[in-house]
């Protein structure tokens, strides 16, 4: 059988040359935890001034928005994201280990966004309801859901309004989770955080952030 030509489309949405790496595929060992240490930093941040950014709650999308932010052009594709949102709206068990969502995994997008094993990246960390967590670049909320189930107060920031609304749907029953549609470069908060995560984001930074 002839090999497929390089760059051939095998049904997965094409947004960049590299697809996001699923952390759950990495083996648990010293190398894995070293990678985790680079991706997730437990830090005590100083309170951030609000400056001129005002966040208004969009009750329809269940997200906080700022009038000064235009959604970034990062997407799995309109059809894919509509399908993800539709699945979540019809799902009763939205938990990070949901069998309902596991049964919906049929391709790469559903595996990436619904796989319960992605949370393995965060399981080594002790997270409890006393903590404030800032998740930068939360995507469609797979890891946001896991963080929220710990009871911690989670502020999840996503540059795409559509993906932020999907994350909000995934966490619709978690009152301790706040989804903010804003640039992670410009986002500000009046309070500090005990943990800040930046997972699967740095590789796309040159496309959306100014400077080097």
Confidence check: pLDDT of 18 > 70: no
Q: Which two tokens stand for residue 154?
A: 């989670």
The C-alpha atoms of residue 151 and residue 134 are separated, in whole angstroms, by: 14
3-state secondary structure string, 122-147? CCCCCCCCCCEEEEECCCCCHHHHHH
Task: Show the domains of the chain with their CATH numbers.
Answer: 29-208 (3.40.50)
Confidence check: pLDDT of 36 > 70: no
77-131 pLDDT, tens digit per residue, is: 999 999 999 999 999 999 999 999 999 999 999 999 999 999 999 999 999 999 9
Q: Which two tokens stand for residue 111?
A: 């595996």
Buried b (16+ CB within 10 A) or exposed e, 160-189: bbbbbbbbbbbbeebebbbbbbbbbeebeb
The residues pairing with 133 across neighbouring beta strands, listed in sequence order, are 154, 195
Q: Using N-to-C axis directions, what is the helix angle for 142-149 and 161-170, rounded to 10°?
A: 40
Average pLDDT, the chain: 80
**Strands 195-198 and 40-41, sheet pairing:** antiparallel
**Strands 132-136 and 195-198, sheet pairing:** parallel
144-159 pLDDT, tens digit per residue, is: 999 999 999 999 999 9
Calculate what percentage of the chain has a pLDDT beyond 70: 73
Q: Grade residue 190 by pLDDT with cuts at 50, 70 and 90.
A: confident
What is the mean predicted confidence (pLDDT) over 15-33? 39
131-143 pLDDT, tens digit per residue, is: 999 999 999 999 9
Q: How much is the pLDDT for 20?
A: 42
Q: How much is the pLDDT for 51?
A: 53
Could you identify the residue written with the tokens 């952390």?
A: 23
> Strand, helix or coil at 12?
coil
What is the mean predicted confidence (pLDDT) over 21-40? 38
């Amino acid at each position: 059988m002839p090999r497929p030509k390089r760059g051939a489309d095998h049904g997965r949405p094409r947004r960049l040359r590299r697809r996001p790496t699923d952390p759950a595929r990495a083996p648990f060992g010293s190398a894995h935890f070293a990678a985790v240490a680079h991706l997730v930093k437990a830090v005590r941040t100083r309170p951030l001034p609000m400056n001129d950014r005002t966040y208004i709650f969009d009750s329809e999308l269940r997200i906080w928005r700022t009038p000064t932010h235009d959604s970034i052009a990062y997407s799995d594709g309109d059809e894919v994201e509509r399908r993800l949102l539709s699945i979540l709206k019809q799902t009763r068990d939205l938990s990070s280990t949901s069998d309902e969502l596991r049964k919906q995994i049929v391709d790469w997008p559903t595996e990436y966004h619904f796989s319960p094993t992605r949370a393995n990246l965060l399981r080594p960390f002790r997270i409890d309801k006393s903590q404030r967590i800032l998740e930068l670049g939360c995507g469609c909320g797979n890891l946001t859901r896991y963080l929220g189930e710990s009871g911690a107060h989670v502020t999840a920031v996503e540059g795409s309004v559509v993906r932020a609304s999907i994350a909000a749907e995934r966490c619709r029953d978690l009152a301790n989770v706040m989804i903010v549609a804003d640039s992670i470069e410009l986002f500000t908060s009046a309070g500090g955080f005990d943990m800040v995560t930046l997972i699967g984001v740095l590789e796309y930074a040159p496309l959306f952030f100014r400077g080097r």
